[in-house]
Homo-oligomer: A and B are copies of this chain.
């Protein structure tokens, strides 16, 4: 049977009109399905890999959406955990918006339950540099953070049990030519008033801060800092919003907090991941499989299949000019040779300011 169609039929919608009543014809197919799309990043031994965004705004500060939208976006995008971090000190729409610093959290809470999203009570302490902007997570009353001194606000947050993140340390509005750890930050770090740093914010990466986090053993954080609508800012079809991966013992608020204070976090932005070497290595091992095909090529080289079951695109450097890009959910077949057995660099897994993961393939039978 040979295919040869010139004229082609597609008359669903119109047929439907005839087939049904004339009062009200429904076109549910015009509406996009309201579903959650999971992000395929594997769990690692002992831990669940939770996808988290710890920085976002609503109309209760300088954002443009109602709080429940942040939950709904997170659900659709496959996130597990979010914190709404409206500015304590910056509320340009105040003339039209009443409520207090806890309102956005309270308004989002019911939707978070319905969508099974872990919602962290939070707020953004917003100052000029130093110390700049800091997010206090896991608080119980944001109104009490509305005090004069930055350090006083942080200490109040700590009293509530907060995990505190220094936001966008290299933001040009506050550090136009530099990204410095100032004496006040050193002081806060010593006092335990900074527990993590955003190495990535919105579309900016601050490479120097990755070593800061890793050497001081505080959490590596990546966030969207979304004010707008995520789908208008990020390409959610082919990519994802910037986020933090948290490696937690269970999918609960308490476990997330424990994991963050234990520094088990990785920033995920574009096709890059930045964080502790051992975590990146586990993710890579859980994502990429290599095995013999049982066949060989014309040069008698054994052929191996390298498969990537994750949503992460890996770029593998074999040490010479040979680089291999492993697309999400795809596999390639390559001839065995020494390079497959030797050390490889994973160019997009950043283990330090100037460093990426060095590892080896684990061959499967």
| Chain A residues proximal to chain B, CB less than 8 Å | 1-3, 5-14, 17, 22-38, 40, 59, 62, 64-66, 68-69, 72, 75-76, 93, 95-99, 103, 107, 110, 113-116, 133, 167-168, 170-173, 175, 177-179, 201-208, 225, 227-229, 231-235, 239, 242, 269-272, 293-298, 303, 305, 307, 309, 313, 315, 322-325, 327, 329-335, 347-348, 350, 353-354, 356
CA distance A333 to B116 in the complex (A): 8
* A6 to B233 alpha-carbon distance, docked (Å): 13
* Residues of the B chain whose Cβ atoms lie less than 8 Å from the Cβ of A113: 293, 295-296, 303
The answer for the CA separation of A51 and B68 in the assembled complex, in Å, is: 30
Q: Are A233 and B303 in contact (CB under 8 A)?
A: no
Please report the C-alpha to C-alpha distance between residue A179 and residue B25 in the assembled complex, in whole angstroms.
11
Determine whether the beta carbon of B234 is less than 8 Å from that of A232. no
Q: What is the chain B residue whose CB lies nearest that of A112?
A: B295
Q: Is the CB of A204 within 8 A of B35?
A: no
Kindly list chain B residues whose C-beta atoms are within 8 Å of the C-beta of A335.
6
Measured between beta carbons, the chain B residues less than 8 angstroms from A313 are 10
| A229 and B69 contact, Cβ closer than 8 Å, known pairs A207-B17, A322-B7 | yes
A10-B28 contact, Cβ under 8 Å, with A65-B66, A93-B66, A303-B114: yes
One complex includes copies of this chain to the number of: 4
Closest chain B residue to A353, Cβ basis: B22
Known: A1-B225, A116-B295, A204-B26. A13 touches B270 (CB 8 A): yes
Asked whether B6 lies within 8 Å of A333 as measured between CB atoms, the reply is yes
Closest CB of chain B to A131's CB: distance in Å? 15
Q: Known: A22-B208, A23-B175, A231-B232. Contact between A325 and B203, CB under 8 A?
A: no
Residues on B with beta carbons closer than 8 Å to the beta carbon of A227? 2-3
Which residue on B lies nearest to A17, using beta carbons? B207
- Tell me, rounded to whole Å, the shortest Cβ–Cβ distance linking A81 to chain B: 14
**Is B272 a contact partner of A315 (Cβ separation < 8 A)?**
no
CA distance A79 to B344 in the complex (A): 29
Q: Is the CB of A76 within 8 A of B232?
A: yes
Assuming the A-B contacts A59-B59, A116-B295, A231-B231, are A24 and B330 also in contact, with contact meaning beta carbons closer than 8 angstroms in the complex?
Answer: no
Note all chain B residues with C-beta closer than 8 A to A32.
Answer: 232-235
A145–chain B nearest beta-carbon distance, Å? 19
Give the docked Cα–Cα distance between A327 and B23 (Å).
29
- Least Cβ–Cβ distance between A50 and chain B, in angstroms: 15
Residues of B within 8 A of A232 (CB): 32, 34, 72, 76, 231
A-B contacts, 7 of them at CB < 8 A, read A6-B335, A22-B353, A25-B204, A25-B206, A34-B332, A38-B329, A113-B303
Whether the pair B233, A114 counts as a contact (CB closer than 8 A) is: no
A98 to chain B, nearest CB (A): 6
Q: Given A17-B205, A31-B233, A323-B11, is A332 in contact with B114 using a C-beta cutoff of 8 Å?
A: no
- The answer to whether A348 and B13 touch (CB under 8 A), given A28-B203, A327-B33, is yes
Shortest distance between the CB of A197 and any CB in chain B (Å): 13
Tell me the minimal C-beta distance from A318 to chain B in angstroms: 9
In the assembled complex, the Cα of A323 lies from the Cα of B207 at a distance in Å of 25
> Are B98 and A95 closer than 8 Å at their CB atoms?
yes
